Amino acid sequence: MNRRPPEGVVLCAGLGALALFTLVYSRWMHVTNATTVSLTFLMIVLLVATLARLRTAVAMSLAAMLSFNFFFLPPVGTFAISDLHNWVSLFAFLTVSLVASNLSATARERTQEALQRQADLLEERKSAELSRQRDELKSMLLASLAHDLRTPLTAMRVAASNLQQTWLNDSERRVQSDIVLTEIERLTRLFQNILEMARIDAGAKSGEVRWVHPSEILAAAREHVEQTIRQHTLTERIDPDRPIEVDPRAIATAIAYVLENAAQYSPPGAAIGVEMTVDAGGLTVRVRDRGPGVPVADLPHIFDRFYRGAAAKARASGTGMGLAIARGLLAAAGGRIAAANDPQGGAVFTIVVPARSRDAGTGDDA
């Protein structure tokens, strides 16, 4: 809705315009035509009525009537009226100005009411749309959780049953044991996702900030997703591996989610590249996978919680929480994350965390 100017400002502006035209018509132009004067004054009254309340418009109408009478109706210079026709002209002017002011004020108020109803309706629609989206997210999350719980539990039950068989040799038992460990890790990651999302929603502060080597952060991230990335070759490059002052838990966990995502979308056996660079601005981490890349339409939403693009929905598992959690953890630590497609294939995730750094040998801040 448009903001209305103060009543006092409108009234003063109207009285000023009335005084100006009165001076011009009576002293400079010597206008004696009552119709010209009354139409001009009526225009000023209507302009005031469009900007102010009815009471201000009425006050303006009375001021215009008095000015019209004193300066333009004979005998000029008095409030007396000698001619009956002038009485008719004066009261006609007052009646028209009051009626027009009332109509203008009423129209303006109705317009404001209509705009307010429109704003309320838009707000209701927005609330309804948000409620619908929340319901969809809840349904999608429950469906994903049900699937992601049922799949590992079924696999563990089958593997555990197989381990009870006496005819399995040592190699086959190791395979079944690996299945159990892998599915346990998947369940553990699922519950970690839920807990991390709850911490982010609750606005939990990041952990302890301390001096740590980037290689230690990467080692912790690898340990988080050891079972998930074991079918892939992890190529690492750290330059230089000098201490930085960060929250190592938050950064390692965020990198782990990105590594997990890279493993899920890369073919088995494909390499996943990790580059870590320390400079005056802090830590930069780039994770490159060898998957199909991120569809252009999904790039703006890839870090939204529970968002799963067309390629992700074709996969059997996933809740769309991992990258959203990574972004939340990095934001809490003052960092950021971005995604892009590598011209040579695959996706590239870039993590930037502002941090102080120092030379490993001297301990001096960089």
Give the residue from 72, 92, 123 where a domain finishes: 123
The answer on 228 and 338 residing in a single domain is: yes
pLDDT of residue 341: 92
Under the banding of pLDDT at 50, 70 and 90, the label for residue 362 is very low
Tell me whether residue 243 is in a domain: yes
- Residue 185, Cα to own-chain centre: how many angstroms? 34
Cβ–Cβ under 8 Å, residues 257 and 313: no
pLDDT at 139: 65
- Domain termination residue (choose one: 102, 123, 144): 123
pLDDT tier at 316, thresholds 50, 70, 90: very low
273 DSSP β-pair partners: 235, 288
Is the pLDDT reported for residue 213 higher than 90?
Answer: yes
DSSP-derived 3-state class of residue 273: strand
Indicate if 351 and 226 belong to the same structural domain.
yes
Whether residues 119 and 214 fall in one domain: no
What's the confidence (pLDDT) of residue 221?
A: 92
Full domain range(s) for residue 60: 7-123
In the chain, % of residues over pLDDT 90 = 17
- Tell me which residue of 220, 214, 292, 207 sits closest to 259, measured CA to CA: 220
Q: What is the spatial distance between Cα 3 and Cα 200, in angstroms, rounded to a whole number?
A: 39
Q: Mean pLDDT for the chain?
A: 79
Q: pLDDT tens-digit profile of 216-238?
A: 999 999 988 887 888 898 999 99
Residues 223 and 335 in one domain: yes
Residues 6+ apart with CB under 8 A from 41: 18, 21, 64, 67, 68, 93, 97
Q: Compute the average pLDDT of residues 43-67.
A: 79
Asked whether residue 217 is assigned to any structural domain, the reply reads: yes
Q: Which two tokens stand for residue 356?
A: 């102080």
Confidence grade of residue 303 (pLDDT, cut at 50, 70, 90): confident
The pLDDT, as a whole number, for residue 259 is: 93
Structure-token pair, residue 200: 């982010």
Question: Given a cut of 50, is residue 361 above it in pLDDT?
Answer: no
* Rounded-to-integer distance, Cα 117 and Cα 108, Å: 14
Average pLDDT over residues 317-340: 83
Binning pLDDT at 50, 70 and 90, where does residue 331 land?
confident
In-domain check, residue 201: no
Residue 276 lies in a domain: yes
Do both 78 and 216 map to the same domain?
A: no
pLDDT, residue 350, reads 95
Question: Is residue 351, in this structure, part of any structural domain at all?
Answer: yes
Tokens 């349904």, located at residue = 139
Q: Give the pLDDT of residue 363.
A: 46
Domain boundary among 98, 123, 148: 123
Long-range contacts made by residues 70-78, C-beta under 8 angstroms, separation at least 24?
A: 71/22, 71/25, 71/26, 72/25, 72/26, 72/31, 72/32, 72/34, 72/37, 73/34
Same domain, 350 and 214: yes
183 assigned to some structural domain: no
End-to-end CA distance of the chain: give it in Å, rounded.
53
Mean pLDDT score, 34-50: 79
Instruction: Give me the CATH number covering residue 245.
Output: 3.30.565.10
Domain assignment of residue 167, yes or no: no
Residue 150 lies in a domain: no
Are 218 and 334 contained in the same domain? Answer: yes
Domains held by the chain: number: 2
In this predicted model, what pLDDT tens digit does every residue of 62-111 receive, in sequence order?
888 888 778 877 777 777 766 666 677 667 777 777 777 777 777 777 88
114 and 242 belong to one structural domain: no
Q: Are 227 and 350 members of one domain?
A: yes
Highest mean pLDDT among 5-9, 56-60, 273-277: 273-277
Which residues contact residue 224 at a Cβ distance below 8 angstroms, ignoring those fewer than 6 apart?
Answer: 252, 253, 256, 259
Taking every pair of Cα atoms in the chain, the longest distance, rounded to a whole number of angstroms, is 128
193, 219 contact by CB (below 8 A) = no
Burial 30-55 (b: 16+ CB within 10 A, else e): eeeebeebbebbbebbbbbbebbbbe
